[in-house]
Structure 1
Amino acid sequence: MTTIGELGEFGLIARLTRGLPLGRDVPLGPGDDAAVVAAPDGRVVATCDLLVEDRHFRRDWSSPYDIGRKAAAQNLADVAAMGARPTALLVGLAAPAATEAAWAQRLYAGLADECAVTGASVAGGDVVAAPVITLAITALGDLGGRPPLTRSGARPGDLVAVRGRLGFSSAGLELLRRGEREPAELVEAHRRPSPPYEAAEEARASGATALLDVSDGLLQDLGHIAEASGVRVEVDSAAVPVPAVLGPDGLRHALTGGEDHAFAGTFPPAAHLPPAWAVIGRVADGKGVMVDGRPYGPGGWDHFRG
């Protein structure tokens, strides 16, 4: 098997970028000093994430293709949560020289296929040698002339609603840590999240006052809305979707588990939400997040607490 060290920096770049599909938003892709990405709105939505081996993924648990899909998804979901249309990813890859080139190619295939779900493209990036595999992803998006959906617009009386799976990735991670692989639905959800990207347009059409993607746990992320908006978020645990597959700890997973990249938002009291959205609470005067009238914790992900 050819390693990335044997290919060298430029040989690896050529192999990884050869044949990458480019959408209409990337008139000039990899191959020059920089890519060219269209910005019809005149503003660019931008976000970035780091993924470090054995911190955010394990190669004995996830295939390179799954890691690529996951790395792209968590960034594309952030762009969508701003009410923007994802346009491009820039990918920084650091890896040991002994890494198989085929592994890196499958990683890029996953990145490209997840981009294709949203119409975005892998527009460029960089590669470098490092002791452990690390991915640095920057995602760009276009607002199409509309205001961004932020975390700061929630008002007392608003509905709180969610769209997408909650707790699946968290439950899958616990299974993997115990050396188990069933239910496969949960394990696959951890390996490869499936954000409901269309939720962002649904939220905008329904008059969302605040929106974000659930990456660090529902309650922790709702706390960001509460803090940015200067309000209290009240969650009704009985209204939170908890499928039986999540098991006896399903509610805990749904409330505190991250990396499903569902969407959570607040909406005017009279909003008519599509059926896929579940209303789980209300916005009130005050601060923080309450579940059934009480604090709930600890929970949620913090990169420096683990």
Structure 2
Amino acid sequence: MLKEGRSQLGPDSSQDAQTISQMGEFRLIDRVTAGRVQSPGTTLGPGDDAAVLAAPDGRVVASTDVLVEGVHFRFDWSSPHQVGRKAVAVNLSDISAMGAVPTGLLVGLACPPETPAERVDELANGLWEEAQQLGIGIIGGDMVSSPSLTISITALGDLQGRDPVTRSGARPGDVVAVAGRLGWAAAGLAVLGRGFRSPVAVVGAHRVPEPPYEAGPRAATGGATSMVDTSDGLLADLGHIAEASGVGVDINSAQLGVPQRLTEVASALGSDARHWVLTGGEDQALVATFPQGTPLPADFRQIGVVAEGSGVTVDGNTYQGPIGWEHWR
């Protein structure tokens, strides 16, 4: 839990050059929490042993993601502000994928003692900016010393009386639909990996994903039978639905489409835009299944069908090559 320090020390020009070891834990916590606005559902925020958050539904949806410098982000590719926004986006996307709305965040930050305090300021500003787009805040967390900068976020959400949309509800005959972008973050990663910083649209997609937050609750209300976000890639994450539901999933590449911008970038890099769309992660799009004949909610477009069998195919064929990201593989 982020606990209250002994002074209300805000950032100023005389301290921006300080490292966090010079500032100390409690003054740093004050620096990143003072003056921030919490959501109405936060009855007790940072400053005590634990926070208190209202749970109107009586159930709390919870999800945790960990982002490690050098694995999930690089400060020579992304600003601390962008890293902060991305850290929140990948977590809140999971809440949306359950059909819930976010209510609060718990943030754990581990970083080396020599980390500039200004970097933590910018990181915190990004965290708060993305959270407050949805009207929520950081209700607590922890800060510790570590050899590398690591951000751990626990996102909390409310189902508003709805049943959670899990990965295990897809049935043969359902249609598969997606809301959000596919392949853009992978294209941005490929561009950055080649030493370029443009096109801005694809590089920006890697730096700060744009999850369709409102589409998750809309899908739940619209009858979605299963749902997942594309953190690891479309085929990989649909594979989770196929396994959990005991079904097969077939993607129709004609319905899926490949954006012209990605085709242009792939041509310049000698890469395959279709591969980015099918396997690229970190766009945080939402993929859901709906009963045949059910009107798709706004922002969703059909890209395939659920069938008897197992696994995920593309145009009826097994996809050749890696299907997405998996740690330790």
**Range into which the TM-score falls when normalised by the shorter chain:** over 0.9
The separation in 2 between residues aligned to 1:142 and 1:205, in whole angstroms, is 14
Q: Which residue of 2 aligns with 1:277?
A: 300
| Bigger Rg, which one | 2
The separation in 1 between residues aligned to 2:158 and 2:250, in whole angstroms, is 32
- The size of the alignment, in residue pairs, is 305
Q: Which residue of 2 aligns with 1:115?
A: 131
* Cα distance, 1:28 vs structure 2: 1.0
TM-score, normalization: structure 2? 0.91
Aligned with residue 133 of structure 1, among 149, 172, 182: 149
- Asked whether the 8 Å contact 2:46–2:139 carries over to 1, the reply is yes
Structure 1 spans left out of the alignment, 5+ residues: none
Q: Which residue of 2 aligns with 1:23?
A: 39
The separation in 2 between residues aligned to 1:216 and 1:298, in whole angstroms, is 11
Other structure's SS at 2:317 match? coil
Aligned with residue 247 of structure 2, among 231, 235, 245: 231
Other structure's SS at 2:24 match? helix
TM-score, normalization: structure 1? 0.98
Q: Does 1:37 align with 2:53?
A: yes
Q: Does 1:182 align with 2:198?
A: yes
Residues 221-253 of structure 1: CA deviation (Å, up to 9, x unaligned) = 000000010000011111113211112422110
Other structure's SS at 2:227 match? strand
Q: Which residue of 1 aligns with 2:275?
A: 252
Q: Percent identical across equivalent pairs? A: 57
* Cα distance, 1:121 vs structure 2: 1.2
Other structure's SS at 1:260 match? coil
- Asked whether the 8 Å contact 1:244–1:250 carries over to 2, the reply is no
Q: Which residue of 2 aligns with 1:304?
A: 328
Other structure's SS at 1:126 match? strand
Other structure's SS at 1:118 match? coil
- Asked whether the 8 Å contact 1:241–1:278 carries over to 2, the reply is no
Residues 97-147 of structure 1: CA deviation (Å, up to 9, x unaligned) = 111111101111111111112222111111011111001110111111211
Q: Which residue of 1 aligns with 2:177?
A: 161
Q: Which residue of 2 aligns with 1:267?
A: 290
The separation in 2 between residues aligned to 1:208 and 1:275, in whole angstroms, is 13
Structure 2 spans left out of the alignment, 5+ residues: 1-16, 267-271
* Cα distance, 1:154 vs structure 2: 0.4
The separation in 2 between residues aligned to 1:88 and 1:211, in whole angstroms, is 22
* Cα distance, 1:24 vs structure 2: 1.2
The separation in 1 between residues aligned to 2:50 and 2:29, in whole angstroms, is 13
Correspondence 1:37-186 to 2 at 5 A: 37-186=53-202
Q: Which residue of 2 aligns with 1:2?
A: 18
Runs of 4+ aligned residues of structure 1 deviating over 3 Å after TM superposition are none
The separation in 1 between residues aligned to 2:79 and 2:289, in whole angstroms, is 36
Q: Which residue of 1 aligns with 2:11?
A: none
The separation in 2 between residues aligned to 1:275 and 1:117, in whole angstroms, is 20
